[in-house]
Amino acid sequence: MAAAVTRRANALRVEAPDGNTESGRASLAADSPVAKRAVDAKDDVWVAADEGEASGSIAGDGNRTPLFRTFKVKGSILHPYRFMILVRLVAIVAFFAWRVKHKNHDGVWLWATSMVADVWFGFSWLLNQLPKLNPVKRVPDLAALADHSGDANLPGIDIFVTTVDPVDEPLLYTVNTILSILATDYPVDKYACYLSDDGGTLVHYEAMIEVANFAVLWVPFCRKYCVEPRSPENYFGMKTQPYAGSMAGEFMRDHRRVRREYDELKVRVDSLSTTIRQRSDAYNSSTKGDGVRATWMADGTQWPGTWIEQVENHRRGQHAGIVQVILGHPSCKPQLGSPASSDNPLDFSNVDTRLPMLVYMSREKRPGYNHQKKAGAMNVMLRVSALLSNAPFVVNFDGDHYINNSQALCAPMCFMLDPRDGQNTAFVQFPQRFDDVDPTDRYANHNRVFFDGTMLSLNGLQGPSYLGTGTMFRRVALYGMEPPRYRAENIKLAGKVNEFGSSTSFINSMPDGAIQERSITPVLVDEALSNDLATLMTCAYEDGSSWGRDVGWVYNIATEDVVTGFRMHRQGWRSMYCSTHCSASPTSTCRPTRSSRCSFWPTTSSPSSGSSQSSSTSRGRSARTSCTSSPS
């Protein structure tokens, strides 16, 4: 859709006409289309640039209408700005000419140094200003997407969430991230969520078990009452929880029950470290071993990852790879819940209770290997997901994000599926907005010069840069393939072992992952598949291949995210910037929480975690990644 101990809250924002996921789409289509609302008389900055296309079908494809609208700055604003830039450019050139004509012969070396610096800053200023001569805002039209695709025809999505340490990135943040993803408004059988735990800790795995158990209650509750946001910490932290339905009494009873269950979940999550230690001590004292104190899972087996008391092959930076499917792929047909009873006081008899696929994984780590930090973890997730779900689109979040609006995943699909140039779009980037900022924003915490200036300017060219999070990718673009206009219709992978690695199963999955309309097909996790997954997670798998260079996320550079986007642009792909609209309906006023150690993001505070584990890091910076269905 950062941190002083630095904490930043991010989200995806999509405007919805009301909280109801299905009736919301219908009202978008029938009552007030996004495009019309976006160009009303109140907008004194942006003007529609695609009226002809928006009023009818795309030429050459009579059955398809545009899925997003394009807006440009009004000429009455843009032309004076261009003239001002021209005047400044003339003044800078005149200044340089004066400097050259009046050389300081008594200090030539000092004059030359200052001249080089002035020329460099002038050149940088010019490069920064040129894109701003034609800023473009593109706004997704969820009504058109609903008319065009509907739930049945939406493609599959793999959602990647990365985390490392349950202390630096409080565990409750990750729990809320996953819960908001599981409850999002996207066909349940068409997306899967992957958590990559780069620390290999048992506490993260058992937290996901707790998430899966609580999601059985939380997700149907969200669907029944159309609550927003669907991160429970942020939802229950609101001063008021608006409800527009006709079952206020039942809603309040269910609300109290779910909140009580969530409070109990927080207690259990907060005590996981103590619980695991006590359990491990009990197992270690009851077994006759060699004195090694292992970390034990609840089923009585030793944890293959990092142990509490670290030893050889079970320490940070040295442990086996792990893949655990916590929630399997759901059926394609809705499964209604049970009516209220003494055992289950919540009535879900008219609510679909299915949950999307949830996978925990931790890649193998061994001494002597450069594990490439987050980029390496993302590439492993890309390979593992290819064998488990292989969705054609991938969304990545940091471990402390959450989705603040249930329709957020639909917005980037408007760009990816658009009949004009959607197939040549590699990724959709969302802006970041900071919460808990003073009303005047006296310290420029929102960083609007970058997000509302530079990024919209790049949007008028080949597209914005990849910012490392809050981004939807086309899987085939991550594989290093060229866009459709430059490559053959059928992807040929013969002899590609040196490029993609030695896994035949992974290479054979790549053509299916390139099919834009592909959904997610359930797979049987048998011994053969488990062996393939283990191979894909090994440290040595990428040796001699193009991973980290021409395939996947780029390695060996500090700005790996930006360079990954540049590589796609170099190949001919486009990117899109999903613009924001702040004055949306009540369902879009919520925001997610994202912890980060990026101290350059100015902040105020982020929501408290409500637990002792995260209370020491709960204060800090606050932001959100936003997308919307109408321009500001």
- Which residues participate in catalysis according to the annotation? 198, 561
Closest CA to 339 of 328, 331, 329, 347: 347
Closest CA to 326 of 232, 203, 193, 455: 193
CA angle, 530 then 536 then 542, to 5°: 165
Alpha helix locations (H) across 231-388? 232-237, 248-270, 272-286, 373-388
- Taking the C-alpha atoms of residue 429 and residue 466, their distance in angstroms, rounded to an integer, is 6
Q: Is 347 annotated as a binding residue?
A: no
- Taking the C-alpha atoms of residue 272 and residue 265, their distance in angstroms, rounded to an integer, is 10
Q: Is 398 annotated as a binding residue?
A: yes
- Taking the C-alpha atoms of residue 121 and residue 127, their distance in angstroms, rounded to an integer, is 10
DSSP 8-state code for residue 450: I
- Taking the C-alpha atoms of residue 632 and residue 628, their distance in angstroms, rounded to an integer, is 9
Contacts of 52 (CB under 8 A, 6+ apart): none
Pair 25, 618: CB distance under 8 Å: no
Contacts of 76 (CB under 8 A, 6+ apart): none
Pair 136, 373: CB distance under 8 Å: no
Closest CA to 188 of 582, 444, 520, 622: 520
Q: Is 264 annotated as a binding residue?
A: no
**Tokens coding 352:** 């679909």
DSSP 8-state code for residue 161: E
- Taking the C-alpha atoms of residue 172 and residue 443, their distance in angstroms, rounded to an integer, is 29
| Chain centre distance of CA 372 | 20
Distances from the Cα of 383 to the Cαs of 423, 476, 547, in angstroms? Answer: 22, 12, 11
Q: Is 373 annotated as a binding residue?
A: yes
Q: Is 169 annotated as a binding residue?
A: yes
Binding-site residues from annotation: 169, 198, 373-374, 398
Binding-site residues from annotation for Mn(2+): 374, 398
Binding-site residues from annotation for UDP-alpha-D-glucose: 169, 198, 373
